[in-house]
Amino acid sequence: MLILKLITTKQLYGKGNYLMKYQAIFVALIVFFAFSGSAWSLDVEVSKSGTVKTIQQAIDQIGVQGGTITITDSGVYEETVWIGDEMERSGQPITITSPFSGDARPVISPLDALGPFVEAQRADRKAGVAIFTDGCVLSNVILEGNPDANGQTGNGSCAMFVHADNVIIDNVLVRPRAGTVGETNYPNSAIFFAQEGAGESARPGGRNCDNCIVRNCDFIGVATDGQTEPSNEGTGYLISKENGQFATFLRTDHFTNNDSQMVDITVENCTFRYSYDAGIFFSNRAGGAGRVTLNVRDCFFDAHGKFQIGMRGCWLNVDRCIFSRACQGPHGDGENAAIRIQEQNGRIPDADISNSLFVNCGSGYSQRAYYGGVNNHNGGTVNVNHCTFDLCLSGVTLNSPRAESVLNVSNCIFNRIGYNAAPASYFDGLPPTDEDPFVLWYSPNFQTGTQISAVFNNFRDTGIGELNVTNCIVYDIAEEDSGEYLPGDPPLGTRLAAGEVTMTGVTRAEPIFVNMDYTAEHPYELAAGSPGIDQAVAALPAAGDLDLDRTPRVVGSVADMGAQEFGSITSIREWSVY
């Protein structure tokens, strides 16, 4: 239509008016190309009672032009969803959304699984939803993983496979499908972020999930008809393949092999609850160029069998997050903690962690007493600044360092280290009772040589790597052992420092909190008279503009120690709620 109109326009002008003629052609071409792009996208409504009754039907109608699919009812859509071309980058973005929130959101619950996706890393993954077109958006829906759907082993509850750049996942609840307890043969990740090119043959310039964003989402590893909390009748989310059906919530397994492969993924304002295994697990198996970086802000992690964020060969930035009940299961992995950093294939990553809270991390059934808040297993430089740690078996750990491994801790508060409190601890296979509120640092389940619990833990004391502590408050160490530290000696209690630790300005005093409840509106807010008020020093990562509550980080001229700022403007953290 536009081409025909262009010809007609040319005929309207006389032979002598060449300037006006060419101006008309130029304007018409601009209009043509503008509407040939995203402005010509299509909008399609989907409902069980409408003309278009399935999401995939709407996707096929829109095709490569792109557009918006609005689900106008709160129905359950038991279908697989596929957007784009697995083999090549093509098509305009498609948005799938609804006008609903909370439980009224439509449910995408595939009865089958797509894949395996042969031109991706990893090719063995399957999923109910697959996105191959850059810039797509999924929002305002509930997404369910169906364990080994329709007898196809291998998807293991995986809800979504993302194989594109600039994808946004917003206000989505991700959970296992009800009625599937015990049906998972090999649990996989809720969402897998893939890379173009199978195995180690990652394609330069290919789709690798760069600039993907997950925000305002809730992840829960137990279906609505499953048991979440451990009890004397069952161990809840800690039973793999039963109540716990996601091995991890978010996963990458990249091979970046050239400088063009710089991958940044952001997760913000999300909750991650009840994983029998781990939370977010990013890995980069290539030892050469390129990089994978994860940015996590304003998120809440609770009740995980292993770590809550694990980076293997990937860089990490964490700000304003809460970590509670990490390492609760009977797993003996050497690297675990709420946050763990480690090298992979010679790729040594760094991490910055700030303005965050760690509570009840490590338990009496987790087999290694050095599990706790942060573990620089054998990564590069890990900076921990303005954080608060309470009821963790260990505070921070330099576990199996390389020569490049440095753990810098500053402006932090450590309280009740060496303890765990109910209901976090899973002690000797039985949950603690209210009559036994504390489980101490020691358990007969711990592996030989790993019983050392400490606020600042370098228990292997190999002589390489650095653990540097500056300007921190420490209070109430469980059965404190203040004798000389000798590796291999039987432990007598939790230590302030185990192994070589450089400490400058460590204050032994009660931090004085308004509350010690990580579910409170202002968790671990400092009270008047706290020795941490106005006592911070300059350190990395920089404190930033906001504290844990997302209120001003500095009130007055100097920031406070710990995750919260005393006297900051009142706000209530708006966690997304399952």
Q: What is the pLDDT of residues 1-47, one digit of tens each?
A: 233 232 233 333 333 333 333 343 333 333 333 344 445 779 999 99
Which is more confident, 468 or 286? Answer: 468
At residue 6, the pLDDT reads 29
- Whether residue 540 is contained in a domain is answered as no
Domain C-terminal end among 458, 478, 508: 508
Residue 115 CA, distance from chain mean position: 24
Banded model confidence at residue 422, pLDDT cuts 50, 70, 90: low
* Identity at 343, one-letter amino acid code: E
Of 309-323, 473-487, 529-543, the least confident: 473-487
Q: Which of 108-112, 262-266, 489-493 has the highest mean pLDDT?
A: 262-266
Indicate if 10 and 104 belong to the same structural domain: no
Q: What's the domain range around 171?
A: 38-508
Domain C-terminal end among 466, 486, 508: 508
Indicate if 32 and 45 belong to the same structural domain: no
At residue 26, the pLDDT reads 37
At residue 20, the pLDDT reads 37
For residue 478, is pLDDT > 90?
A: no
DSSP 446: S
For residue 418, is pLDDT > 90?
A: no
Indicate if 326 and 437 belong to the same structural domain: yes
In whole numbers, what is the pLDDT of the chain averaged over residues?
85
Residues with Cβ within 8 Å of 338's Cβ and at least 6 positions away in sequence, in order, are: 301, 307, 308, 309, 323, 326, 327, 358, 361, 372, 373, 374, 392
At residue 116, the pLDDT reads 82
Strand partners, 69: 44, 96
Mutual angle of helices 18-36 and 2-12, in 10-degree steps: 170
What is the domain count for the chain? 2
At residue 245, the pLDDT reads 84
Indicate if 16 and 70 belong to the same structural domain: no
- Whether residue 546 is contained in a domain is answered as no
For residue 312, is pLDDT > 50?
A: yes
Q: How many angstroms separate the CA atoms of 530 and 458, rounded?
A: 29
How large is the average pLDDT for residues 462-475?
Answer: 96
At residue 27, the pLDDT reads 35
For residue 435, is pLDDT > 70?
A: no
Of 124-138, 221-235, 280-294, 452-466, the least confident: 221-235
At residue 8, the pLDDT reads 31
For residue 96, is pLDDT > 80?
A: yes
- Whether residue 547 is contained in a domain is answered as no
Residue 160 CA, distance from chain mean position: 15
Q: Three-state SS string across 478-534, please?
A: CCCCCCCCCCCCCCCCCEEEECCCEEEEEEECCCCECCCCCCCCCCCCECCCCCCCC
For residue 230, is pLDDT > 90?
A: no
Banded model confidence at residue 286, pLDDT cuts 50, 70, 90: confident
At residue 430, the pLDDT reads 58
- Whether residue 493 is contained in a domain is answered as yes
Q: Contacts from 432-441 at CB under 8 Å and sequence distance 24+?
A: 438/478, 439/363, 439/364, 440/364, 440/478, 440/479, 441/369, 441/393, 441/478, 441/479, 441/491, 441/493, 441/494
Strand 280-284 relative to strand 309-312, pairing: parallel
Banded model confidence at residue 543, pLDDT cuts 50, 70, 90: confident
Banded model confidence at residue 573, pLDDT cuts 50, 70, 90: low
* Domain containing residue 378: CATH number: 2.160.20
- Whether residue 400 is contained in a domain is answered as yes
At residue 363, the pLDDT reads 76
Residue 404 structure tokens: 């490049």
15, burial (CB in 10 Å: exposed 0-12, middle 13-18, buried 19+): exposed
Residue pair 210/264 in contact (Cβ under 8 Å)? The answer is yes
At residue 429, the pLDDT reads 55
Residue 565 φ then ψ, to 5°: -100, 125
DSSP 370: T
Of 94-98, 419-423, 551-555, the least confident: 419-423
Indicate if 290 and 370 belong to the same structural domain: yes
For residue 59, is pLDDT > 80?
A: yes
| Percent of the chain predicted with pLDDT > 90 | 60
At residue 440, the pLDDT reads 57
Helix (H, G, I), strand (E, B) or coil at 243: coil
Beta-carbon count within 10 A of 336 CB: 31
Indicate if 355 and 428 belong to the same structural domain: yes
Indicate if 9 and 119 belong to the same structural domain: no
Indicate if 32 and 81 belong to the same structural domain: no
At residue 439, the pLDDT reads 58
- Whether residue 568 is contained in a domain is answered as no
At residue 489, the pLDDT reads 74
Residue pair 94/62 in contact (Cβ under 8 Å)? The answer is yes
For residue 513, is pLDDT > 80?
A: yes
How large is the average pLDDT for residues 458-485?
Answer: 92
Residue pair 228/302 in contact (Cβ under 8 Å)? The answer is no
pLDDT tens digits for 162-215? Answer: 999 999 999 999 999 998 887 777 778 999 999 988 777 778 788 999 999 999
Indicate if 147 and 32 belong to the same structural domain: no
For residue 404, is pLDDT > 80?
A: yes
Indicate if 357 and 213 belong to the same structural domain: yes
Residue 147 φ then ψ, to 5°: -55, 120
At residue 433, the pLDDT reads 60
- Whether residue 521 is contained in a domain is answered as no
Element (H, E) at 56: helix 55-62
Q: How many angstroms separate the CA atoms of 270 and 301, rounded?
A: 9
How large is the average pLDDT for residues 483-489?
Answer: 78
- Whether residue 533 is contained in a domain is answered as no
Which is more confident, 53 or 16? Answer: 53
At residue 315, the pLDDT reads 98
Residue 562 structure tokens: 């710990």
For residue 392, is pLDDT > 50?
A: yes
Residue pair 191/217 in contact (Cβ under 8 Å)? The answer is no
Of 208-212, 280-284, 353-357, 442-446, the least confident: 442-446
Domain C-terminal end among 508, 538, 567: 508
Q: Is the pTM of this model over 0.75?
A: yes
Strand ranges, E, within 65-194: 67-71, 76-77, 81-83, 94-97, 107-108, 120-121, 129-131, 137-145, 160-162, 168-176, 189-193
Which is more confident, 15 or 505? Answer: 505
Indicate if 184 and 46 belong to the same structural domain: yes
Indicate if 78 and 19 belong to the same structural domain: no
Q: How many angstroms separate the CA atoms of 86 and 108, rounded?
A: 21
Of 205-214, 282-291, 401-410, the least confident: 282-291
